[in-house]
Amino acid sequence: MIEIFRRNLFVNSILLLPYVFILRLNTVLHPVGFTLGESANVFQKSIFFTLTDPLAQNIFANLLIFCQALLINHLYLKNRLSKNATLFPGLFYIIFITLIDENNLLAPILIANTFIILAVLNVLETYKLPQAKVYIFNTGFILAMASLFYSPYFAFILFGVISLLQLRSFKIAEKLQFFIGFGVPYFLLFTYRYWFGISFVDLDFINEIFFRIPKFRTDGLIVFYLSVLVPLLSIVLALFNFATISGKKSIQAQKKIDIFYWVLLFCLISFFIFNTPGLHHILSLAFPLSVLIGCLVSDAKRTVTLEIVHILVVSLIFITQFKLIIF
């Protein structure tokens, strides 16, 4: 089945939509809603106060994941990150997002992932572009929006600077454009809070930022630990195959692939800096891993092995969703 998505056809892209709903069937049959905390900001409230019904939230989440998968495939194909034009990155994103059953709801990080994808799209557009001020400003603005939906993404302000330095001669004026872009959403939020007499210090990212020792669950089923193990093994696979993923490609493709390793690094860094729900934060790994593993698999020839792994992972997803194994 997975070989369908090896060919970059419009019909195959549309097939990702039923794939999302089939893989996340339990979110429609037994929807779980997300409830905002008291520290939620106006941007978060604009989404969750509109979508209060659990079923509506999950349908919106599934449609959002489909759109994110399309964006990732567009990014992958436009920047020619692999020799073969496949739809694997978007497919793998859907799988990584759905792996852990507890994360199958409309969480703020899922919305924030959209902004991270768009930010990386804008970053990659700046490569060897003489006049890139629009993309640089947009990168800062979009990263700030991501951090307002999910506080740990505030750490990506440093990612924005590093990634732009990787791809171009990042001038002082361009740095200023980036930081102005990043500051605009926060300025709007401050203005809103000032207008309505709300204290500034209650901002979500200020409440949560501090170094900590992460806590891990020890009361889960075996299938739960297997689900967590898949993205962790994928990280190891992406790191050990760095030369394979970026090798025999143009300098441009190599530089752009490096950006996804930076995204992966900052996903891990933000986990240790911020007080985050550990399981939800795993969703941040879905984007960089989907692209890196997508590049690796797109050039692979072992189709039978790929199909077997796909069947095993999909089986694991259904087992965890429907509690088919109780140990």
Answer yes or no: is pLDDT of 139 > 60.
yes
Reply yes or no on whether the pLDDT at 211 is more than 70.
no
Q: How confident is the model at residue 210 (pLDDT cuts 50, 70, 90)?
A: low
Beta-bridge partners for 274: 209
If one compares 327 and 251, the residue with the highest pLDDT of the two is 251
User: Over the chain, what is the mean pLDDT?
Assistant: 89
Q: Which tokens is 291 given?
A: 């692209």
Count of CB atoms situated within 10 Å of the CB of 268: 12
35-71: pLDDT as tens digits = 887 777 788 888 888 888 999 999 999 999 999 999 9
Average pLDDT for 295-321: 90
CA atoms within 13 A on the CB side of 325: 14
Domain boundaries, the chain: 2-129+219-322
**SS3 state at 259:** helix
pLDDT of residue 302 exceeding 80:
no
pLDDT at 159 over 90: yes
Average confidence (pLDDT) over 246-255: 90
pLDDT exceeds cutoff 90 at 89: yes
CA atoms within 13 A on the CB side of 132: 25
Q: What is the reported pLDDT for 198?
A: 73
Token pair for 218: 């020890």
Question: Which amino acid is located at 68 in the chain?
Answer: Q
**DSSP secondary structure string for all residues of 183-240:** HHHHHHHHHHHHHTT--GGG-HHHHHB---PPP---S--HHHHHHHHHHHHHHHHHHH
Instruction: Spell out the residues 6+ positions from residue 225 whose beta carbon is closer than 8 angstroms to its own.
Output: none
Is the alpha carbon torsion for 263, 268, 273, 278 positive or negative?
Answer: positive
Q: Is the pLDDT of residue 276 over 80?
A: no
Q: Residue 209 forms beta bridges with which residues?
A: 274
Neighbours of 89 (CB within 10 A): 28
The amino acid at 197: G
Q: How far is CA 83 from the centre of its chain?
A: 23
The arithmetic mean of pLDDT across residues 245-272, rounded, is 92
Q: Where are the alpha helices (DSSP H) in the chain?
A: 10-23, 25-29, 42-48, 54-78, 88-98, 108-125, 133-149, 156-167, 172-195, 204-208, 222-240, 242-246, 251-273, 278-281, 286-298, 303-322
DSSP-based three-state secondary structure for 168? coil
Q: Look up residue 18 and give its two tokens.
A: 């039923």
Both tokens of 131, joined, read: 């006049």
Among 11-25, 99-113, 122-136, 299-313, which is the least confidently predicted range? Answer: 299-313
How far is it, in rounded angstroms, from Cα 89 to Cα 137?
A: 27
- Encoding tokens for residue 134? 């629009």
- d(CA 135, CA 129) in angstroms, rounded, equals 10
Which residues have CB under 8 Å from 173's CB, separation 6+? none
pLDDT of residue 3: 85
Q: Which residue has the higher pLDDT, 206 or 290?
A: 290
Q: Tell which wins on pLDDT, 283 or 279.
A: 283
Per-residue model confidence (pLDDT) at position 263: 98
Look up tokens 């990634």; give the residue: 163
What is the average per-residue pLDDT within 125-135?
90
Residues contacting 172, CB < 8 A, separation 6+: none
Q: Is the pTM of this model over 0.75?
A: yes
Sign of the CA dihedral 177, 125, 292, 283?
positive
Instruction: Give the residue-averaged pLDDT of 114-136.
Output: 94
User: Residue 204: pLDDT above 60?
Assistant: no
What's the first-to-final CA gap in the chain, in angstroms? 29
CA dist 69 and 29 (Å) reads 23
